[in-house]
Amino acid sequence: MKLNSGALVLSLCLLLAFLAGQPAAAGRGDGGKKDGDGGKKGGGDGGKKGGKKDVDVESTVRMIVAKAMEGKPRVGAALVRLLFHDCWVHGCDGSVLLDTVPYGSGSGEKDAENNIGLEGFEVIDDIKAELLRLADGYDNVSCADILVLAARQATAILSRGKIVYAVKRGRMDGVVSSAADADAVLPPSTFKIKQLKDNFKARGFNTRELVALSGAHAVGVAHLSSFVDRLNTATQSPISGAYQNALRSHTEAQKTAQGTNDPIEFNNIRDMDKQFQNAAGYVTTGVDVTANGVLDNSYYKANLQNRVLFRSDWELRNDTDTGANNAGNALDEFGDNAGKWFLAFGQAMAKLSDIPADGPRFEIRKNCRKIN
């Protein structure tokens, strides 16, 4: 029996929403169960198993992330970025959360050049502390799991419930954090298309998934140092002249306003004020310009207008491969059909959250910022 594409997308979204919304009981080593298939309490034991309290991890994460994001969508964007920067390095092991470097020498991942501007650590700390409190100090949820769940909840809120996906629990926390390791594998904003595709392929992600995950640039902010090459005539990749001029003027003003030579700007021109958009020649057709900080497909519409911050964004238009392996085809597809992008982004986030960790030793950290 054949289903049309709209019915299939709707069915998948409803199924994922059902799976993602169910409460899960905290448990060390749950055999890779997806959150949402647990939560049963032992009969008549007051919700305890072997003296250990069952804790509704899902509800706790939802509550704390939602509170942190109240009126501050930037926090949600930071959590989504934090997940990518964790899982891409040593797999999903919470190593990006470490303040200290327990093994080896040098700086931890937080100090990596490609990790400039990472935020959201306090939200993870708050979730960890609350889970410990609710479980009377029994530590049964890893920091890696907390980050995966927090990023998923942030995605749901940022997308106004349009992006939902199921994830597994049972990750352990790594004990190694290296700035050099992070800079060796995280793709910088200056990467060209072949470098981007090779980087994602090394992690098992195809071109369409690369383009889907790039859509996260619909939200959040970036430091000037990450896109200054786009403003320099000697290093710039093709960019709308009007957008470039508007951006150059705005960043100069923000140096004074923010008191730094490396100010931040919104990733998405949709989130800039009307005066900036007019000066940049931004065409708002098909874009909800009132949806500031919303995770939607407006990034693709801006990219097709060549009004994006990063060279790596523009490079998606510069792919010479043919067929399904062409980034430009996916760029057009997601720009034309928000529903397809919602589904593709959720699937790619679920896959990202499932990258296995590698390392010499694992534990469940009591403090996400340091090893036990």
Task: Tell me the two tokens of residue 265.
Answer: 């700007």
CA distances 105 to 166, 313, 357, Å, are: 37, 34, 21
CA distances 214 to 31, 174, 187, 328, Å, are: 31, 27, 11, 12
288 is in an annotated binding site: yes
- CA 177 to CA 143: how far, in whole Å? 14
111 is in an annotated binding site: no
89 is in an annotated binding site: yes
**Which one-letter amino acid corresponds to residue 293?**
G
In the set 85, 90, 223, 250, the catalytic residue is 85
- CA 284 to CA 149: how far, in whole Å? 33
Our answer to whether residue 223 is catalytic in this structure is no
What DSSP letter does each residue of 139-201 carry, written as one string? --S-HHHHHHHHHHHHHHHHTTT------B----EES---HHHHHHHSPPTT--HHHHHHHHH
- CA 314 to CA 365: how far, in whole Å? 40
For the chain, the straight-line distance linking the first and the last C-alpha, in angstroms and rounded, comes to 54
- CA 312 to CA 326: how far, in whole Å? 15
Q: Rounded to the nearest 5°, which phi and psi values hold at 141?
A: -130, 120
293 is in an annotated binding site: no
91 is in an annotated binding site: yes
Place of tokens 């940022």: 158
174 is in an annotated binding site: no
- CA 222 to CA 262: how far, in whole Å? 10
- CA 348 to CA 302: how far, in whole Å? 21
Look at residue 255 and give its three-state secondary structure.
helix
90 is in an annotated binding site: no
Q: Rounded to the nearest 5°, which phi and psi values hold at 305?
A: -95, 0
Place of tokens 């000066």: 279
187 is in an annotated binding site: yes
- CA 315 to CA 197: how far, in whole Å? 10
Residue ranges of the annotated binding site for heme b are 217
Residue ranges of the annotated binding site for Ca(2+) are 86, 89, 91, 93, 95, 109, 288, 296
Residue ranges of the annotated binding site for substrate are 187
Residue ranges of the annotated binding site are 86, 89, 91, 93, 95, 109, 187, 217, 288, 296
Which residues are tagged catalytic? 85
